[in-house]
A = this chain, B = another copy of it.
């Protein structure tokens, strides 16, 4: 599978796609490119960095709602309501945005970015798409009585706790995880796509019987797997934001998929009906190509149709003329069993 940029009828640029689709036992169900490609999980690891908050009782102690938990798992768009909610969350744990160590950046939503630029808004740490994750890390430190200073450093107990959590969900021993510094300053995890997909497959088989995705019941769920999966399924608007791919794909198939962007061409997804996890990487890190690729992969796995905005993207020149398009070519190859996996079970 590759994503091609056509100008007229000639391919002008090519983006290679690698993908692994696995079940909760780690069996490879489908693939394209190299499912064993080792790359960084980054923002797609957020749900697993959030697990300790539920497992250790942090969410219960500080009265986190499922919206709060969704924001901890999010790469949000810095929308005003999202930022306000992170500020509230910080208030619940007795911290403020001055405790956040994530760096500022223009909002991931172009619309929000333009709005803030026009209004001359000063982008502080709380506007980082990772501010929910950072607030969650501060909450974990507060809960355990660990220092809230320098919580991004690899040796800090928060980062060590997250590293062990990632290891246990992905079956990659701690010693085999390649670590580096993420865009927001915390530790990020280099593991194979197949193992990322396993983590998401395990999210996909969360016990949704306990409380289904439509429930308005706000009582905390103590099972991390279910709490994380349900907070994400319930709040597609918080996981990314208006008009962004994760939100669009989750809204198009309510309760049927969790989609989470990484960085540098990574997307992951959990398919509760099928008990499958998906991880993809566009080799060169192209953001739009990876969004088109995950939409195509999910469609092949039964989430039909793709949102129109993710089927193909017109290439528009400076005069506003459509001069080509970005589109996916090819699909997943099936592994192991002989029956087509359509997801229509």
Chain A interfacial positions (CB closer than 8 Å to B): 5, 7-10, 12-15, 38-40, 101-105, 117, 128, 178-185, 188, 190, 264-265, 283-286, 317-321, 323-324
Contact = CB atoms under 8 A, between A and B. Distances in A.
A325 to B, nearest CB: 12
**Among A14, A101, A103, A318, residue most surrounded by chain B Cβ atoms (within 10 Å):** A318
Q: Is the interface of A mostly helix, strand, loop or mixed?
A: loop
25 contacts: A7-B40, A7-B188, A7-B190, A8-B178, A8-B179, A8-B180, A8-B190, A9-B178, A10-B38, A10-B40, A10-B178, A12-B39, A12-B40, A12-B285, A13-B283, A101-B319, A102-B318, A103-B317, A180-B323, A180-B324, A182-B317, A184-B318, A185-B317, A185-B321, A284-B284
A164 B203 CA distance: 60
Nearest to A321: B181
Contact of A318 (B7, B105, B188, B264): B105
Nearest to A190: B10
Contacts of A104: 318
A13 B265 contact: yes
Nearest to A104: B318
Contacts of A9: 178, 180
A12 to B, nearest CB: 5
B264 A181 contact: no
Contacts of A102: 318-319
Contacts of A101: 319
Given A12-B39, A13-B265, A40-B12, A180 B7 contact: yes
